[in-house]
Structure 1
Amino acid sequence: MSATRRDPRTDAGGGRSVRRRQRWRAQLVAWAFIVPVALYLVFFYAYPLLRNLDLSFRDYSLASFITGNADWAGLDNYLAVLKNPTFVPAMLNTALFTFGSILVQFAAGLALAVFFFRKFPLSGLLRALFLVPWLLPLLVSASIWSWMLNSDSGIVNAVITAFGGPQINWLTSPQWALVSVLIANIWIGIPFNLVILYSGLQNISTDIYEAASLDGAGSWQTFWRITFPLLRPVSAITILLGLVYTLKVFDIIWIMTKGGPGDASTTLAIWSYRLGFGGGTPQLSPAAAVGNLLILIAFVFGLLYIRLQRKAEQS
């Protein structure tokens, strides 16, 4: 009986066909994952951004917004925004609100992360309780702080007056309105810093701390010479994420003070909403211009975050 001989060319052709089908199958699977994400980004990010740019470069009224016919205005809306008396207070309030929040949130979050990193009974439960402000809906958190800081029936004023202090108009005084929303935002943001920094502490090898203790390093020396330097990549990312988030905070301020009294607690986000939807005649194009300025600021910090993240991955 003679053995059947197979043509090598047929085997090679069949192998190429199988590999080709496998590549096509892999590409189809890849496109199946990419296309939904791409469509989501186009419809919910790219299109609104382009639409907002179109609004800012044209002179839209409510009627022309519906019909889609508006005269080209160029940079007139941006120039009008920059010359508006509200621009400087809004920029200053945005800077104070953002950097004040980040500074206190990061410092408190780092202190709590180091505190909970030292294992003790009920540390896990207490750490979980600190996450409650972060887990609550912002509407609930802002409403709670509005009640607590109420001038007449708030618990904060009740405690202050019980110890002989003066009654403070937290939400209605130009001197205290921004401080009030700042306190509420700090309370909400501390758990985020705690979670991220605590995760960063867990990535530091315990051998380093053991070597430091053998060399006689104290708690402060260990923190400043080991913990804080090794946390720099995580700290930079935490701060930049907080900056991008805090820049666009709207709901807390709107629920508590609506940006008032006057412009005392008005930020760029609040001002943009006021122009477009705050009552009276909607100024859609200036509102879009203010929103684009805010997007530009957040975009700059976002690029900085990406650059630092790449450096952290390479180190």
Structure 2
Amino acid sequence: MAPHVTTRASVPAVPETGAGARRPRSARSGGHWTAWAFLAPVVVYLVAFYAYPLYRNLDLSLHRYTVRSFVQGGAPFSGLDNYRTVFDAPTFWPALTHTAVFTGASLVFQFSIGMALAIFFHQHFRLSATLRALFLVPWLLPLIVSASTWSWMLNSDSGIVNSALGVFGIGPVNWLTSPDWSLVSVTIANIWIGIPFNLVVLYSGLQAIPSDIYEAAALDGATPWSTFWRVTFPLLRPVSAITLLLGLIYTLKVFDIIWIMTKGGPADGSTTLATWSYRLGFGNLLPSFGPGAAVGNLLIVLAMVFGLLYIRMQRRAPR
């Protein structure tokens, strides 16, 4: 009998499995459309609430818009004239200075007090969780409520702050009606509102530090002060950086607190770039849409500069 010869044609085909197997074209196309379906809401959100407003604001700052042309269109192109108008305005430098002072003072005190409270609550004593929850109240209140409360407290005639100062023989202070004190008043209110955010983020960062490090520092004879500067603060540096960056971006655009308390006055004593932008665009009977948008774009550029600095610092940070 002749031997049985197996040819290649007679071997049944075995389907490929594992990593080397190719999926059918229909499966690959289905996965492609599934990925776009998940991505579409994010793209729509970014375009509708970020890209288009930014484009619209840039368009406003490069054209000479009036109320009529704002509604009907046809505003003439003005180039950088609106930016020149802003830079030449007598309000520009005071507003820029007030913005720097308001932002810098808010960040320093919010971060310092938030750090101190985070370390205090990190001790896990009795009622720690309850007190921590109470400190979140300023953050949870609507800003209009917080600003209105501070306006009442700092009222020159019937405010509780002046009443308390009177107990110590200090005369009343015109917190909201004096150009010398109005910026201080809105800064104090903003610091009070921003402390809980710093407390929450920094407390979360402290929770991530292993307790073994503190035990080793205690065995080496480190004092609480040296432990903070040599252990806690260096390990909290990434958390501190993002906390300060978010606080800076938020504080640059603070408008409602200042507007409710002082409206940027008196005599522009508490006018910042944010309140000036709103006043130019919406605070007058004849709004200046172009200059108002130009001031808003300056705020965006400032925020982007600090954001890029943060990204550069993160790239240079040791891994």
The one of 263, 271, 274 aligned to 1:266: 271
Return the alpha-carbon distance in structure 2 between the equivalents of residues 6 and 180 of structure 1: 88
Matched, 1:86 2:97: no
Provide the residue aligned with 1:253 in structure 2: 258
Provide the residue aligned with 2:106 in structure 1: 101
Contact 1:236 1:308 in 2 (8 A): no
- Displacement of 1:25 in angstroms is 3.1
1:214-293, aligned counterparts within 5 Å? 214-293=219-298
Secondary structure at the aligned position of 1:143 is classed as helix
Structure 1: tracts of 5 or more residues without a match: none
Provide the residue aligned with 1:56 in structure 2: 61
Return the alpha-carbon distance in structure 2 between the equivalents of residues 29 and 160 of structure 1: 65
The one of 166, 182, 189 aligned to 1:184: 189
Q: What code does the residue aligned with 1:154 have?
A: G
Return the alpha-carbon distance in structure 1 between the equivalents of residues 70 and 145 of structure 2: 34
- Displacement of 1:310 in angstroms is 5.4
Matched, 1:31 2:36: yes
Under a length normalisation based on structure 1, what TM-score does the superposition of the two structures give? 0.93
Return the alpha-carbon distance in structure 2 between the equivalents of residues 143 and 172 of structure 1: 15
Residue identity over aligned pairs, in percent, reads: 66
Contact 1:233 1:308 in 2 (8 A): no
Instruction: Quote the RMSD (CA, aligned, Å).
Output: 1.9
Matched, 1:302 2:307: yes
Change in CA separation of 1:64 and 1:215 when aligned onto 2, cut-off 3 Å: same
Return the alpha-carbon distance in structure 1 between the equivalents of residues 35 and 144 of structure 2: 39
Matched, 1:165 2:159: no
Contact 1:276 1:283 in 2 (8 A): yes
Change in CA separation of 1:124 and 1:218 when aligned onto 2, cut-off 3 Å: same
Return the alpha-carbon distance in structure 2 between the equivalents of residues 236 and 18 of structure 1: 46
Q: Which is higher, the Rg of structure 1 or of structure 2?
A: 2
Matched, 1:69 2:74: yes
Change in CA separation of 1:7 and 1:307 when aligned onto 2, cut-off 3 Å: farther
**Which protein is richer in helix relative to its size?**
1
Provide the residue aligned with 1:136 in structure 2: 141
- Displacement of 1:254 in angstroms is 0.4
Structure 2: tracts of 5 or more residues without a match: 1-9
The one of 116, 121, 124 aligned to 2:126: 121
Contact 1:237 1:308 in 2 (8 A): no
Return the alpha-carbon distance in structure 1 between the equivalents of residues 308 and 199 of structure 2: 24
Once the two structures are overlaid, the 10-residue window that deviates more, 51-60 or 18-27, is 18-27
Contact 1:138 1:252 in 2 (8 A): yes
- Displacement of 1:7 in angstroms is 4.4
Q: What code does the residue aligned with 1:25 have?
A: G
Q: What code does the residue aligned with 2:82 have?
A: N
- Displacement of 1:307 in angstroms is 3.8
Matched, 1:42 2:26: no
Equivalent residue pairs, number = 308
Return the alpha-carbon distance in structure 2 between the equivalents of residues 89 and 6 of structure 1: 87
